[in-house]
Amino acid sequence: MDIVGVIDLVDSWVWGPLTIVILLGSHVYLTVRTRFIQRKLPQAIKLSVTADPDAEGDISQFGALTTALSATIGTGNIIGVATAIIAGGPGAVLWMWLTGVFGMATKYSEVYAAVKYRVKDADGEMHGGAMYAWRRAFKRADGSIPWWAKLGSVAFALFAGVASLGIGSAVQSSSMAGVIDSNFPGIPMWALGLAIAIMVSIVIFGGVKVISRVCSKLVPFMAIAYVWGCIVIIGMNWEYVWPAIKLIFECAFTAKAAFGGAVGSGIMVALQFGCARGLFSNESGLGSAPIVASAAATRNPARQALVSMTGTFWDTVVICALTGVVLVSTMLANPGIVTAGNLSEGAALTSAAFASIPYVGTPILVIGMILFAYSTMLGWSYYGTRCATFLFGRRALRPYQVLYVLAAFLGAIGVGGVVWTVSDIANAFMALPNIIVVLLLSGVIARETRHYVWDKNLDEKSSEPTPLMEDVMR
């Protein structure tokens, strides 16, 4: 068995029944513990565009949301959905969607924990995430931290730092280069890689405030443009939309071949790829978005947790669902694109769907993919730098950023589908310490959520002071 076969085997094991049960089980459990916090979605959307000027933090709540969305609305919503359909069948779309619906509670809970246990450095900048939650939440009265809490914090930061080079840099660069190459062949891949590396370098060396400003302008524009393209395709394939929805539900619960047998799988495979790509897309339970949410100016953890929860809604419940219906209806309307054998990669399927829009379809996809992937790289660069800083101190900041840019270049020059598989594996290992700490703190989160959200005290300022990082890291 070659190295690719070994990686695929590890991926199938990592994303086996146990991981899926842990992931979906946590989503459902936290939904119950937070009293179905998804019901507060309209209020959360309103909060996401409401400034909180008197609160402590580095960036606005909207800035934190758009930075997190920039890291989640990306290739997972476009290429990721396509690869899930190809590998897991149309039923994978439903499991992706359900992962998003219930994952909103997990996103709320993990962000709540991150903001509650965040710290600030000597310059006053906020740092947070599962690594700090592990250290602060379980700190003993004498100031010592249990070995298992230290292990959890280091494990998360290490896996997140490694994952950022894959999911955040190489995967996005590979997808961006693949879409450009499939539509405009002849451009040397090294030239694309160099251009991508320069584009990323210009922004990420400026820090979180620069990244936030860029993302707050890019994200709304690219999301609206992409959704518009999806709606146009759905309108063109209108007679196939309902059959596509029916096929998605049928393949999610039955072992059924689709499109003349060219695509199809069993229930477990659909569940596996749907959940894996769903997590890749919305990152609920992954622990990534809480890192930037911790920098938000918010008067209490519940406000930012509600705002961050909307990210999963927009990312998976809306955009991934639209993409799934677009792709399956296009495959039904044009069965030749399946039997022709040109759908071995997700990029080809997505390109075929958008190419059905005369004149503007391909440019929308190409520009959208570039902006999606680019903004994702910006968001994940921040996650990675925060993890590197936690592990090795501020001296690791520049070396990590250089490594991140190098990963972007290498991704563009041809690592292909292997990067997706490696990123799936890294996601699972990163999610595990994050899910564990959130479940351990679920009682605290539920109790305080009852006070802030259900007892209508969202305007109340948290009485807990933010400690210095130096004190926490001793």
Report the CATH number at residue 199.
Answer: 1.20.1740
pTM of the model: 0.85
pLDDT at 338 over 70: no
pLDDT tens, residue by residue, 231-283: 888 888 889 899 889 888 887 777 655 554 445 555 666 666 677 666 666 77
- Is the dihedral angle over the CA atoms 49, 51, 52, 58 positive or is it negative? positive
Asked if the structure places residue 293 within a domain, the reply is yes
Asked if the structure places residue 229 within a domain, the reply is yes
Q: Which two tokens stand for residue 232?
A: 């146009």
Number of domains the chain is built from: 1
Report residue 341's pLDDT band, with 50, 70 and 90 as the boundaries. Answer: very low
Report residue 70's pLDDT band, with 50, 70 and 90 as the boundaries. Answer: low
Asked if the structure places residue 429 within a domain, the reply is yes
pLDDT tens, residue by residue, 84-101: 777 777 888 888 888 889
State the residue range of the domain holding 57. Answer: 10-456
Asked if the structure places residue 309 within a domain, the reply is yes
Report residue 447's pLDDT band, with 50, 70 and 90 as the boundaries. Answer: very high
Tokens 């069948």 correspond to: 89
Q: What's the CA dihedral at 164, 122, 113, 38 to 10 degrees?
A: -80
End-to-end CA distance of the chain: 46
Distance CA 150, CA 148 (A): 5
Buried b (16+ CB within 10 A) or exposed e, 35-51: eebbebbeebbebbeee
Report residue 342's pLDDT band, with 50, 70 and 90 as the boundaries. Answer: very low
pLDDT at 299 over 50: yes
Ramachandran sector of residue 80 (left: φ over 0; alpha: ψ -120 to 50; beta: rest): alpha
Asked if the structure places residue 471 within a domain, the reply is no
Q: Residue 207: exposed, middle, or buried by beta-carbon count in 10 A (0-12, 13-18, 19+)?
A: middle
pLDDT at residue 437 in the model: 95
Q: Count of CB atoms within 10 A of residue 461's CB?
A: 12
Report residue 29's pLDDT band, with 50, 70 and 90 as the boundaries. Answer: very high
pLDDT at residue 132 in the model: 93
pLDDT at 182 over 50: yes
Ramachandran sector of residue 341 (left: φ over 0; alpha: ψ -120 to 50; beta: rest): left
Asked if the structure places residue 114 within a domain, the reply is yes
Distance CA 101, CA 83 (A): 21
At a CB cut-off of 8 Å and minimum separation 6, what does 132 contact? 114, 117, 118, 119, 153, 294, 390, 472
Q: Are strands 256-258 and 126-127 parallel, antiparallel or unpaired?
A: unpaired
- Cα 381 to chain centroid distance, Å, stands at 13
Q: Which two tokens stand for residue 10?
A: 């590890």
At a CB cut-off of 8 Å and minimum separation 6, what does 197 contact? 405, 406, 408, 409, 412
Asked if the structure places residue 233 within a domain, the reply is yes
- Count of residues making up the chain: 474
pLDDT at residue 192 in the model: 83
pLDDT at residue 444 in the model: 95
C-beta separation of 330 from 237 below 8 A: yes
Asked if the structure places residue 412 within a domain, the reply is yes
